[in-house]
A and B are shown apart, each in its own frame.
Chain A
Amino acid sequence: MNYTERFENVTVMGAAGKMGSGILLLTALEMADMSLKQENKGKTFLLYALDISQPALSGLMKYIQAQVVKAAEKKVVGLRKVYAEHRDLVENCDIINQYVMDVMNIIRPVTTLESAYESTLIFEAASENPDLKIKLFSQINQNNKRQPWFFTNTSSIPIGYLDKEAKLEGRVLGVHFYNPPAVQKLVEVIKAETTKPELAEFASQFIKSLRKIEVPSHDFAGFIGNGHFMRDALYGMSEAQKLTKEMSFVEAVYTINKVTQDYLIRPMGIFQLIDYVGIDVCQYIMKVMAPHVKDENIHSPLLDKFMEISIKGGQNHDGSQKDGFLKYEKGKVTGIYDPDKKQYIPTIDIAAKCDDRLGTLPKSMTTWKAVVGNPKKEEIFKNYFAELETMNTFGAKLAKEYAKRSKAIGQKLVMDKVAFNEKDVNTVLLTGFFHAYGPINDYLN
């Protein structure tokens, strides 16, 4: 079965979810482009969008259509060539409309698992629950006579474990897209020891065709992305906890969030990132990772505490940020939650005091936004961290410790044979987390 044949019957599980909808969109576009090739005329391409909720599927179809229109508008220069023989399609709008119809015509929204019984390729983006995934995989595998391939979007569960428990005989591969899949360039690919090599070869071709960046990771819980992020988050939370000896919890969260965003020149502070991913998701990923990590305690009592009071972060359906550790208004941080007072304290009430404690800012400090696209950023960071090195303010000290810890986490991922090399760790942070520099660097001595 070649690349095209494999794509003739595909299912995306959890298609209406945040990750599933993105994977569905990318797959639908890829399949439509194949179906429009001269040599594939007459072949039928089917893409089942499988989810448990009909209303969610209705919403999904609207989302997909809007996204396909955007994609078509972007690639209309090429589409005019694809439809050159269709003499009735004259204007760009004719061509765009036809393409949207051709893509939508491939997708079948369904709620029954039976749809996947004919598929040769199954993308799984169900919730991050090992037992659920195993149950779904087993059931499909037992009823599908076509020896389907399972591509799971898990960000933390070992692939070998899924393979063994669901009895997939090596027909499973970790293909971990980053959120949102339609935009993020990074795809982590995880082979279990048992995974058949042709799955990875196929995935590489697919990822290349999507013009995304593939980074391989060893099959170890959390892989590279969450392997770094969860430890980085744990460190941030423990540092904040430590600070509560000399300041309030709210001030400590403000301080660490500011150090991790402004001093480390990252796109967002660590508490904002936890909110973005979701406090619930972070807690769940740690729970999945913990049993597989022997020499560290991957667990946060602080996350448990927030979950108990039902503050979960994450995003609303329209993509806006829900409140978590921090409170957001129009995407901007405006408050920090005080678990004792059970309310958000406005940041303006405490900012001046905390900033004062952090001390004077480094002169060469810049913002992530200003530097991320700068071709000379390497030099900018060199100068910046050299200045930070000489500084002894409270803020500088926290930042230096944090950067060192982030580097150590990255190096340990290589040492523990999670990542193949240091470059891969940096690539994941640069492309999956939009950092402007990799954590493994020589900026600080």
Chain B
Amino acid sequence: MKLRRKIYMVAGYNTISMGTGRKEFNPKKERAGLEELLKEAGQGVLKQIGGAKNVDECVIGNFIAARFNKQANLAGFFPYIDEGLTFKPCIRVEGACGTGALALASGIRSVLAETAEVVLVMGVEVQNTVKAIYGADILAAAGWAKERKDGHAYFFPGKFSDRAGKYFEKFGREKTRKAMAQWYVNAIENARLCPTAQEFHNTTKDLMAQGLLEPNPKGFVDNLNVFDCSKVSDGASGIAVVSEEGLKRCGIDIKDAVEIVGLGQSEYDITKPPADFTKLETTANAVKKALEMAGIKKEQIATVETHDCFTIAGIMAVEAIGFAGHGEGPDYVLTGNTSRKGKVPFNTTGGLVGWGHPTGATGVHQAVTILEQLTGKAGNAQIEIPKDRPYGLSVNMGGDDKTLVSIVYKKTT
């Protein structure tokens, strides 16, 4: 399948990913909520596209504010962001941690359907309203509710700990744990270059030692330590999905845009365990479709933003995309291929482990990061995009490899 119109993304904006790790974070003090974060990110985009008058439709991605913030009907916040959005068509989408990219996909479809030339797409999540142990209950909704009772107290870390355990059995514990630690090191080193990253202030000297900390099954899960996990984050991201006409309307130079050339979506039965715990098969399926639509090979990709909710998920995604064979992900990571100086830099501003994981916003944040990298606006986190590889790839995952969206982005100049 091919996209029937040219689609672009422009005018990205990320708030700070707020939570433990940030100097200004104090769990006991009040901080920005849904309203403030949406306003900041929404206005951040609108300013770059000539204001609300240029917007045809709006999509907001949010996983579960109904429980974290006792708030539903989030589409209603668009006119709050800017009065100019009053009476415009707005929609909210949800697909657990894959929500953000679903919002992007929804925006892309609107432009393809020619109901819109400019779509404002946002993602938001505010999770520091409860302690992590209760947050785990809320986030467990990304899995099948009937599995909750017999699941781990930390439900999702438990799921990926099980995957890591199976991976250890099959491919060796020591090397895999080392690669997971290396993934963590890369994430923090990248986050230190991005002022909005949750780990921007991280000054730990021996990151490797931290990453290698032995898991504590009594207090947490069997096969992951806390550094293997993404963070509890508050944040919002926004971006505009536009057509060629939309670009003109907003007065945006094509060099400040990325072209969307591939979109792959894939779903797996939420009531079923993975066929193979050591593989992310739905991820592989979505990426394959995205690359096929773009008509490119993985070797043409310059950078990837992948959904490393846990370090093991990062390594398994490397395999799912096809950069390494089954069981060879750890070697690929350990030899430095995914680091910012490696063959294919992954998660150049820290990913979910380093930048943060405001669940419903993550997919949008990934798109903003790739937009910045491909347009040379990534600041200190900027990597080199080789001329012969002008593509970026994002992978956003909801649940345990259930709701997948993969997008291929192309540099425009």
Contacts and interface: CB of A to CB of B under 8 A. Distances in A.
Interface of A: 73-74, 76-80, 84, 87, 89-93, 96
B341 to A, nearest CB: 33
A256 B152 CA distance: 53
Interface residues of B, number: 16
B149 A93 contact: no
28 contacts: A73-B131, A73-B133, A74-B219, A76-B153, A77-B153, A77-B154, A77-B217, A77-B218, A77-B219, A77-B220, A78-B218, A79-B153, A80-B152, A80-B153, A84-B150, A87-B149, A89-B149, A90-B148, A90-B149, A91-B137, A91-B140, A91-B148, A92-B133, A92-B134, A92-B136, A93-B134, A93-B137, A96-B133
Interface in B127-178: 131, 133-134, 136-137, 140, 148-150, 152-154
A77 B153 CA distance: 5
Contacts of B217: 77
Nearest to B220: A77
Contacts of A96: 133
A63 to B, nearest CB: 19
Contacts of B152: 77, 80
Q: Is the interface of B mostly helix, strand, loop or mixed?
A: loop
Nearest to A81: B153
Nearest to A88: B149
Interface in B200-245: 217-220
Given A80-B152, A92-B137, 19 more contacts: A73-B131, A73-B133, A76-B153, A77-B152, A77-B153, A77-B218, A78-B218, A79-B153, A80-B153, A84-B150, A87-B149, A90-B148, A90-B149, A91-B137, A91-B140, A91-B148, A92-B133, A92-B153, A93-B137
Nearest to A95: B153
A340 to B, nearest CB: 42
Contacts of B137: 91-93
Nearest to B131: A73
Nearest to B136: A92
A77 B154 CA distance: 8
A76 B149 contact: no
Nearest to A83: B149
Contacts of A90: 148-149
Nearest to A78: B218
A93 B67 CA distance: 13
Counting from the closest, the 6 A-B pairs by CB-CB distance are: A91-B137, A76-B153, A77-B153, A90-B149, A92-B137, A73-B133
Nearest to B217: A77
Nearest to A94: B137
B67 to A, nearest CB: 10
Of the listed residues B136, B150, B153, B219, the one surrounded by the most CB atoms of chain A closer than 10 A to its CB is B153
Interface string B348-369: 0000000000000000000000
A96 B218 CA distance: 16
